[in-house]
Amino acid sequence: MRYPRRLPRPRTLRARLTVGLVVLLAVSCAAVGLAAVVELNGFLTQRLDQQLEQVGARFPQSLEHGGKLPDDHDGDEHGDDRRQATGTFGARLVDGKVTNAAVVRPGGIENVIGELTGRDRKQLTAVDTDGQAHTVELAPLDDYRVYAAQGLDGDVLIVGLPLEPVQAAVHRLELVAGIVFGLALAATGVIGALWVRWSLRPLSRVAATAARVSELPLASGEVIMPSRAPEADPHSEVGRVAAAFNRMLGHVEDALTKRHASEERLRSFAADASHELRTPVASVRGHAELALLHPGPVPPAVTRALGRIAAESSRMGEMVDDLLLLARLDAGRPLERLPVDLTHLVLDAVTDARAAGPDHRWTMELPEDPVTVTGDAHRLHQVLGNLLANARLHTPAGTKVTVSLETDGAVARLQVHDDGPGVPEEVQPGVFERFTRAEHRRRTDASGGGAGLGLAIVAAVVEAHGGSVGLESRPGSTTFTVRLPLGDVSTG
């Protein structure tokens, strides 16, 4: 079963206001037109009834004498038809039956008794002699307004005038009103649309400003807000909306400025702290290693303590280097822009991963032709190394890790897939944020772990190369996808 399609509804405020204006005008025009037609029809019908009263029963009386008046009415030997309007109808009823029926034509009186149908005779018989006019529809003559009166001979005399002039005048009014109202509606639609558009211009400017604001990167960094929406009449609804919107933009701009200043202070602190920590950390590590090389006897507990100091110093040094790298990337420090063979880079990174995690199964899917991008080879190697280290540290022994490389149009797509337990769903949205660590490790026997900076460095380095990185993970399947442009993309 097919249902009728609904008419499209106007979506914009401008369209709704215009349509509403036209609909209201159409309803008003229809009401005015209907009232005018009804009033005109009633007025002309009343005039016709007055004419019937003036005509009286003279014409149907003449039918008793073959179309001529008796001597006490008029001495004219030519009968009554000269004094009757063309189209006047007369009928005589005796004992409830139509015995005579005629109509005045331009050439004289025409007998129409033979043309009356049974329905016509019933209508004429049913006309009351109540002194009121009634409407009947006669088959040979169309609609008539008739008046019945008692004759002198106990008969009923009916006289009628055609309704055709009244109907013609009413139809002409309907046609004229339809044309005039149609033109008025069309003109109102066009002029109303232009007026509504002009009236809502301030609101359109507010919407355009809001659209420009929605396209701004508000997540981080310095944000330059667009110019404010033009002010309108503060006493109008549109003016109040524009003023409120501008105040809101001012508050947002102040908040973003304060946030940017806070971020800059934090980046500066991280960079300065990382730079200052490199020397003491390196000094602690050097002294610990020097103490371990002492030729004299050293108690085992001291040896273990010095070993832990050296290991933790090394780990702290790596963390400081990661923080310093992130601070430099945040500051927009330019990276090297040289050709990098990703195929060769994958071979080296997987070889290093096999040596670091021999209990995993490492596989590669590489294209036959080299895949070359423009960028910093050292940082891209660090990206792949962090992804492989993440797969190695957070999956159990025996996990299969597959590194695949392919080109997709103007983009190089690098994927690291493992069949481990997967990244917890609650961690996935912020997995590339700094210091993000899963509460429950993907590897049940893993101990320790990084500081949560590895994937943050991956995202920062890939973004600095004009690329993107994503994650798809579920139990038994985790895939990190890195996309890098094959063309030369400036880092800005």
Q: What is the pLDDT of residues 403-417, one digit of tens each?
A: 999 988 889 999 999
The third-level CATH classification (topology) of the domain covering 338-485 is Heat Shock Protein 90 (3.30.565)
Q: What is the mean pLDDT of residues 90-113?
A: 87
The third-level CATH classification (topology) of the domain covering 216-333 is Helix Hairpins (1.10.287)
pLDDT of res. 489: 47
pTM above 0.85, yes or no: no
CB atoms within 10 A of CB 1: 2
Segment 458-485, tens digit of pLDDT: 888 898 888 999 999 999 999 999 999 9
**Residue 157, CA distances (Å) to 46, 92, 129, 138, 346 in order:** 21, 5, 9, 16, 116
d(CA 402, CA 5): 53
Q: What is the mean pLDDT of residues 119-148?
A: 88
d(CA 57, CA 91): 10
Q: What is the mean pLDDT of residues 30-45?
A: 91
Q: Does domain 56-162 have CATH number 2.30.230?
A: no
pLDDT, the chain, mean: 80
Contact 61, 72 (CB under 8 A): no
Residue whose C-alpha is closest to residue 150's, from 175, 169, 131:
131
User: To which H or E segment does residue 146 belong?
Assistant: strand 142-150
pLDDT of res. 220: 62
Residue whose C-alpha is closest to residue 309's, from 290, 334, 335:
290
d(CA 439, CA 349): 28
d(CA 345, CA 351): 10
148/282: higher pLDDT = 148
